[in-house]
Amino acid sequence: MRNYDIVIVGGGPAGLAAAVSARQSGIESIIILERDKELGGILNQCIHNGFGLHTFKEELTGPEYADRFIAQVRELKIEYKLNTMVLDIGQDKTVTAMNREDGMFEIQAKAVILAMGCRERPRGALNIPGYRPAGIYSAGTAQRLVNMEGYMPGREVVILGSGDIGLIMARRMTLEGAKVKVVAELMPYSGGLKRNIVQCLDDYGIPLKLSHTVVDITGKERVEGVTLAQVDEKNKPIPGTEEFYSCDTLLLSVGLIPENEISRGMGVTINPVTSGPKVNESLETNLEGVFACGNVLHVHDLVDFVSEEASAAGRNAAAYVKGTSVADAAPEAEICLNPTAGVRYTVPSTIRRARMEDNLTVRFRVGGVYKNCFVSVYFDDERVIHRKRQVLAPGEMEEVKLTKEQLLQYPKLEQITFKIEEE
Amino acid sequence: MYDVIIIGAGVCGAAVARELSRYQAKICVLEKEEDVCCGTSKANSAIVHAGYDAVTGSLKAKLNVRGNERMGELAKELDFPFERNGSLVLCLNEADMPNLQALYDRGVANGVRELRILNREEVLEMEPNVTENVYAALYAPTAGIVCPFGLNIALAENAYANGVEFYFDTEVTEIHKSEEGYVLQTDKGSFETKYVVNAAGVYADRFHNMVSEKKIHITARRGDYCLLDKEAGNHVHKTIFALPGKLGKGILVTPTVHGNLLVGPTAVDVEDKEGINTTAEGLAQVFEKAGMSVRNIPTRQVITSFAGLRAHEDGDDFIIGEAEDAPGFIDCAGIESPGIASCPAIGEMAAELIRDKMGLAEKTDFIADRQGIKNPNTLSMEERNALIKENPAYGNIICRCEMVTEGEIIDAIRRPLGAKSLDGVKRRTRAGMGRCQSGFCAPRTMEILARECDMSMFDITKSGGDSKLVVGTNKDTV
Amino acid sequence: MEVRNLICINCPMGCPLTVEMDGDEVVNVSGNTCKRGDTYGRKEVTNPTRIVTSTVKVTGGEADMVSVKTKQDIPKGKIFECVKALKDVEVQAPVHIGDVIVSDVAGTGVDIIATRNVLK
């Protein structure tokens, strides 16, 4: 069995940033295990631009953004294994992995950083009725085929779901010669970024039908068409609103789910709202020395925030390995973060003041569209943050920064409540 | 000139082919689809019923009980997944107890062993997620679950190993009586044979009626199903039925042999014999009715839904035997539930009938055993490493949800009657059958298929025919 | 006086902009929260531009396609012409990020550059 201080599961943006920051925090013995044939993860197929505005102050494409981190990983001589699947992690942080050259092997880690990313929800998750012909792809699968392999999955396309991948693929398919007939969205608002609605749909005259869903798929061998219908407030299709679209392809962009099968297997507690691990201020799960970051923790919109979060996870894992986080920590009660009134969840879920860094970013999402409202944070019963926002939407991750200094002023603090308030 | 031609490579056709391959005869199977297991056999409950449902004395009753008995041994011989997990038929109130008792009595009369009636407490102890409204249940420990693809493929591969020829993408269009037997017209030319076995599923009436004046009529009875993530696979351990109604056994909730949870089917008679589209009403009904038997089914964990067609004959029983006015034409028709459970016995019965009529002699070199695709997940680390050393493809995971390696996919493609499509690979290896439903592995499996079959990516299909997966290259129409 | 309604794309705020125009002249931009909204509004109605990203074929490399982009933004009206110009382009591996794949694409004066590395 080989030993490493830190094993990072996944070499996408989260894993790369975590590795770099762990090394910069003084950990020599690090290995990244990546299941694909190259580092960079999903960024490799996200060839559109718009990445890196926060991190590098310039607009990069996905592969370029990934390359910045890959270059650092190489420069810092961080070890990694490609085409390597992690099969299982024990509670004792024994990582079992496999590849063609090494076969099945075990690594004993002092700390583990989970950075496996997420997967797309399939058709079944929406229980869309109809036939099951060829031509139904999740948007990400189509993205891989087109952007990395150069194959067109179809000529006439209907897209269900206006998340960013769906919007981006509407533009990509159009530019590569397909006709995108419509993008349908179940919710009354789009889950994607404004910029993508403007530059991926409006620019090409692709209609966006809000409060619409697919109610039938026809075609026995290859998709021949789909039927859209409007939905009511309960997301039930309204009879009489059906409209048939002839097409050979249906792309689904109906949500992402963190891939936590390995985490669950090792006993990590999962937050049912995010489908990601519950973590504390150090992005550490309920298992000591097991950290999570990026889309495996909660699905992000912007990779810049993945990198930022993963850097924190890397620093914290380094501190854990060096024992500094434990040494500094006087036993104390955890402060609970309590998402209510419009706030669906927070990452982290708990804070131990003694172990927190000077600044802590709390990230969260709201459950609906809110206009001219306030993001409020209560320390127990006292409102300490009250920030006016013109608009809040579920598709856009929010953040609140807390400082250690601020929290130390409330020695008896038990709970921090996050709310969306009208006044 | 063939001795026997079997129409249809579903479980029945394959079972007959396998049993007939014990004898010295020239046999072939004609299948209109690109692979075995493409019709009713691929979309059903995959239950090996115990045998208490069918009317005592019916073929359904007799062959179900016999098939159930044979299944364990067959699974060992042919190496496919089968498990006797037991079944419960729930009775929700005292007033229905006579019906439950009648089911028990019928089971005993049919020869089903180990049947017991459990009281409410016993049921809830056995299956805590069963509805609290349960009053009693009929417990059948001999009932089981099987991989229907595994069963079908194993039977066909073994038949092939014993000399049976298979023609795919070959649709029988006409059947004519000839001096020595029959001539079958297909879209790939004509085939002459002494005997015909009609194992054409929902189309069996069409072929029967081509040669016989004693008409039969098969209705395609559609059933919608939902398949849930393996995380929900332990919600129940036994197959849970409601007391049967008129159109079938109602909605069941069962673990699958691979550890998913399966809920369904509905029952709707349809005109179109290819009408395997699910409907919103059907899918809604699945959970509505299942909820009456089992509590808190995690409906958010659905990974796919599908529909299958049962071949329901007006006489409500299997039709197995020589058509009265068409000597040499052997029907295996009207095979609906408990068809999967019965298929080993159907194969036996039809094969023995033909053996006796034709006076076929047994082969001395019949191969009874078949080795399935190696599943590395069942091996120890040492065994697995030995395998990877010998063939590194076993170290390369392609389907991350089901942990299927490239080695397994290559085996599925290269073995006799191998996979030619994405669905063919899926049914043989489970690649693409997991929670992401092939989102990640489809492009990679397509590449392996293209490489192994020396095909262009443009010719790779989901399931044969026109089910092409990619239609061109970037900018080719710009 | 012509009024154009836009959504600002500079940040997730997505401010609804109202741009008032007199002929080709922008008279006023309102609805923006910051200066970037004003700049975007003015530019989008007078000279809208986009970065175009796409792929071209690559031979002899570890991958069959290499992703590319316009080095700077190009006029929005030139997008399809730009894509068309990439249709039959085939490059030899190795390709590195930043390598010029097509210079002065579609007469825009802007180069198409590689956005990923494809080694031999």
Q: Tell me which residue of B374, B372, B227, B345 sits closest to B290, measured CA to CA.
A: B227
Task: Check whether residue C38 and residue C66 sit in a common domain.
Answer: no
pLDDT at A411 (0 to 100)? 86
pLDDT grade for A194, boundaries at 50, 70 and 90: confident
Q: Is residue C73 part of a domain?
A: yes
Task: Check whether residue C58 and residue C103 sit in a common domain.
Answer: yes
Q: Which two tokens stand for residue B469?
A: 């997966």
The arithmetic mean of pLDDT across residues A202-212, rounded, is: 96
DSSP strands (E only) in B187-266: 189-198, 218-228, 239-242, 252-255, 261-264
Query: Closest approach of chain B CAs to the CA of A392, in angstroms?
Result: 26
What number of CA atoms fall less than 13 Å from residue A291's CA on the CB side? 33
What are the CA-CA distances from residue C14 to residues A305, B72, C34 (Å)?
19, 64, 11
Query: Closest approach of chain C CAs to the CA of A358, in angstroms?
Result: 27
pLDDT grade for A383, boundaries at 50, 70 and 90: very high
Count Cβ–Cβ pairs < 8 Å, chain B vs chain C.
Answer: 12
pLDDT at A372 (0 to 100)? 86
Alpha-carbon gap, residue A200 to A203, rounded angstroms:
6
pLDDT grade for A387, boundaries at 50, 70 and 90: very high
Mean per-residue pLDDT of chain C: 93
pLDDT grade for A1, boundaries at 50, 70 and 90: confident
Q: Is residue C119 part of a domain?
A: no
Task: Check whether residue C63 and residue C108 sit in a common domain.
Answer: yes
Q: Is residue C25 part of a domain?
A: yes
> Which residues 275-294 of B have a C-beta within 8 angstroms of A?
276-280, 282-283
> Which residues 31-60 of C have a C-beta within 8 angstroms of B?
54-55
Query: Closest approach of chain A CAs to the CA of B145, in angstroms?
Result: 23
Please tell me the total count of domains within chain C: 2
**Does B247 score more than 70 pLDDT?**
no
Which of A179-188, A407-416, B367-376, B416-425 comes out lowest in average pLDDT? Answer: A407-416
**Does C104 score more than 90 pLDDT?**
yes
Task: Check whether residue C13 and residue C58 sit in a common domain.
Answer: no
Residues in chain C: 120
**Does A328 score more than 90 pLDDT?**
no
Which residue on chain B is closest to C65 by alpha carbon? B474
Q: Which long-range contacts (CB under 8 A, 24 or more apart) does B175-181 make?
A: B175/B207, B175/B210, B175/B211, B175/B329, B177/B211, B177/B326, B180/B1, B181/B328
Mean per-residue pLDDT of chain B: 96
Q: Is residue C7 part of a domain?
A: yes
A132-162 per-position pLDDT tens digit = 999 999 999 999 999 999 999 999 999 999 9
Q: Angle at CA A364, nearest 5°, toward A358 and A370? A: 130
Interface contact A64-C116, CB threshold 8 A: yes
**Does B249 score more than 80 pLDDT?**
no
The arithmetic mean of pLDDT across residues B58-86, rounded, is: 98
Q: Count CB-CB contacts under 10 A for residue B138.
A: 26
B183-220 per-position pLDDT tens digit = 999 999 999 999 999 999 999 999 999 999 999 999 99
Q: Give the list of residues 6+ apart from residue A256 with CB closer than 8 angstroms, or none.
A: A118, A119, A120, A121, A163, A295, A299
pLDDT at B43 (0 to 100)? 95
Three-state DSSP class for residue B424: helix
**Does C1 score more than 80 pLDDT?**
no
The answer to whether the beta carbons of residues A72 and A20 sit under 8 Å apart is yes
B95 contact A CB<8A: no
Q: Which of C43, C67, C71, C95 to mutate to test the interface with A (most CBs of A within 10 A)?
A: C67
pLDDT grade for A341, boundaries at 50, 70 and 90: confident
Interface contact A199-C33, CB threshold 8 A: no
Query: Closest approach of chain A CAs to the CA of C51, in angstroms?
Result: 7
pLDDT at A371 (0 to 100)? 86
What are the CA-CA distances from residue B268 to residues A64, A265, A397, B262, B279 (Å)?
54, 40, 45, 19, 10
Q: Of B49, B235, B258, B312, which residue is the catalytic one?
A: B49
Which residue on chain A is closest to B421 by alpha carbon? A134
Query: Closest approach of chain A CAs to the CA of C38, in angstroms?
Result: 16
- Which of A63, A198, A390 shows the shortest C-beta gap to C116? A63
Residues of B with CB under 8 A from a CB of C: 474-475, 478
Alpha-carbon gap, residue A302 to A361, rounded angstroms:
15
DSSP A199: I
Q: Which of A42, A61, A82, A201 to mutate to test the interface with C (most CBs of C within 10 A)?
A: A61
Exposure string of A124-157, with b = 16+ CB inside 10 Å and e = fewer, is bbbbbbbbbbbbbbbbbbbbbbbbbbbbbbbbbb
Q: Tell me which residue of B425, B432, B410 sits closest to B460, measured CA to CA.
A: B425
Hey, which residues does C92 pair with through a beta bridge?
Answer: C59
- Which of C55, C80, C84 shows the shortest C-beta gap to B474? C55
Alpha-carbon gap, residue B225 to B268, rounded angstroms:
12
What are the CA-CA distances from residue B299 to residues A125, B285, B295 (Å)?
9, 12, 11
pTM: 0.94
Q: Which of C7, C9, C110 to mutate to test the interface with A (most CBs of A within 10 A)?
A: C9
pLDDT grade for A24, boundaries at 50, 70 and 90: very high
Task: Check whether residue C36 and residue C68 sit in a common domain.
Answer: no
The answer to whether the beta carbons of residues B253 and B293 sit under 8 Å apart is yes
Please report all neighbours of B, defined by 3+ CB atom pairs within 8 A.
Answer: A, C
pLDDT at B248 (0 to 100)? 58
pLDDT at A331 (0 to 100)? 61
Our answer to whether residue B235 is catalytic in this structure is: no
What is the DSSP annotation of A387-400?
EEEEEE-TTS-EEE
Give the distance, in angstroms, between the CA of residue B435 and the centroid of all CA atoms in the same chain.
21
Q: Is residue C28 part of a domain?
A: yes
Mean per-residue pLDDT of chain A: 94
pLDDT grade for C53, boundaries at 50, 70 and 90: very high
B88-141 per-position pLDDT tens digit = 999 999 999 999 999 999 999 999 999 999 999 999 999 999 999 999 999 999
B398-411 per-position pLDDT tens digit = 999 999 999 999 99
Hey, which residues does C113 pair with through a beta bridge?
Answer: C69, C100
The arithmetic mean of pLDDT across residues A256-281, rounded, is: 95
The arithmetic mean of pLDDT across residues A345-367, rounded, is: 93
Question: Which residue stretches of A78-206 are H helix?
Answer: 139-144, 164-175, 194-196
The answer to whether the beta carbons of residues A395 and A302 sit under 8 Å apart is no
Query: Closest approach of chain A CAs to the CA of B407, in angstroms?
Result: 10
Q: What are the chain B neighbours of A82 within 8 Å (beta carbons)?
A: none
- Which of A35, A151, A237 shows the shortest C-beta gap to B470? A151
pLDDT at C12 (0 to 100)? 63
Exposure string of C70-108, with b = 16+ CB inside 10 Å and e = fewer, is beebbeeebbeebbebbbebebebbbebebebbeebbeb
Query: Would strands A382-392 and A370-379 be described as parallel, antiparallel, or unpaired?
Result: antiparallel
Q: What are the chain B neighbours of A217 within 8 Å (beta carbons)?
A: 277
Q: Angle at CA B266, nearest 5°, toward B265 and B268? A: 135
Interface contact B471-A152, CB threshold 8 A: yes
Q: What are the chain C neighbours of A301 within 8 Å (beta carbons)?
A: 12
pLDDT at A392 (0 to 100)? 86
pLDDT at A330 (0 to 100)? 58
- Which of B277, B389, B467 shows the shortest C-beta gap to A103? B389
Sign of CA dihedral B170, B173, B179, B180: positive
Q: Which region holds residue B163: left if phi is over 0, alpha if psi is between -120 and 50, else beta? A: left
Task: Check whether residue C42 and residue C61 sit in a common domain.
Answer: no
Interface contact A175-C115, CB threshold 8 A: no
Which residue on chain C is closest to A192 by alpha carbon? C12
Residues of A with CB under 8 A from a CB of C: 44, 47-49, 59-61, 63-64, 67, 146-150, 175-176, 193-195, 197-199, 203, 301, 390-391, 396
Q: What are the chain A neighbours of C63 within 8 Å (beta carbons)?
A: 148
**Does A57 score more than 60 pLDDT?**
yes
Q: Count CB-CB contacts under 10 A for residue A158.
A: 25
C90 contact B CB<8A: no
The answer to whether the beta carbons of residues A67 and C95 sit under 8 Å apart is no
Exposure string of B24-45, with b = 16+ CB inside 10 Å and e = fewer, is ebebbbbbbbbbbbbbbbbbbb
Task: Check whether residue C59 and residue C24 sit in a common domain.
Answer: no
pLDDT at A415 (0 to 100)? 92
Q: What percent of chain B has pLDDT over 90?
A: 97
Interface contact C63-A148, CB threshold 8 A: yes
Task: Check whether residue C78 and residue C104 sit in a common domain.
Answer: yes
**Does B384 score more than 60 pLDDT?**
yes
pLDDT at B245 (0 to 100)? 64
- B72 vs A421, more confident: B72
Q: Is residue C42 part of a domain?
A: yes
> Which residues 308-367 of A have a C-beta within 8 angstroms of B?
none
The arithmetic mean of pLDDT across residues B446-460, rounded, is: 97
Task: Check whether residue C70 and residue C17 sit in a common domain.
Answer: no
Q: Which of C69, C78, C95 to mutate to test the interface with A (most CBs of A within 10 A)?
A: C69
Q: What are phi and psi of A256, to 5 degrees?
A: -120, 145
Q: Tell me which residue of B56, B75, B79 sits closest to B67, measured CA to CA.
A: B75
Interface contact A175-C83, CB threshold 8 A: yes
Alpha-carbon gap, residue A378 to B433, rounded angstroms:
46
Residue C43 sits in which domain range? 2-47
Task: Check whether residue C42 and residue C78 sit in a common domain.
Answer: no
Q: Is residue C79 part of a domain?
A: yes
Task: Check whether residue C70 and residue C41 sit in a common domain.
Answer: no
Q: What percent of chain B has pLDDT over 70?
A: 99
pLDDT at C23 (0 to 100)? 86
C84 contact B CB<8A: yes
pLDDT at A390 (0 to 100)? 81
Task: Check whether residue C58 and residue C93 sit in a common domain.
Answer: yes
Q: Tell me which residue of C64, C11, C20 sits closest to C41, measured CA to CA.
A: C20
Three-state DSSP class for residue B228: strand
A171 contact B CB<8A: no
**Does B389 score more than 60 pLDDT?**
yes
Q: Is residue C120 part of a domain?
A: no
What is the DSSP annotation of B427-443?
HHH-TT-STTTTTTTHH
C105 contact B CB<8A: no
Query: Closest approach of chain C CAs to the CA of A205, in angstroms?
Result: 13
Domain boundary among C16, C31, C47: C47
**Does B325 score more than 90 pLDDT?**
yes
Which of A293-302, A405-414, B359-368 comes out lowest in average pLDDT? Answer: A405-414
**Does A327 score more than 60 pLDDT?**
no
Alpha-carbon gap, residue B210 to B197, rounded angstroms:
13
Interface contact C14-A195, CB threshold 8 A: yes
The arithmetic mean of pLDDT across residues A306-312, rounded, is: 97
CATH number, residue C72: 3.10.530.10
pLDDT at A336 (0 to 100)? 93
**Does A107 score more than 60 pLDDT?**
yes
Q: What are the chain B neighbours of C80 within 8 Å (beta carbons)?
A: 478
In the sheet that holds B82-83, the strands lie side by side as B47-48, B144-146, B82-83
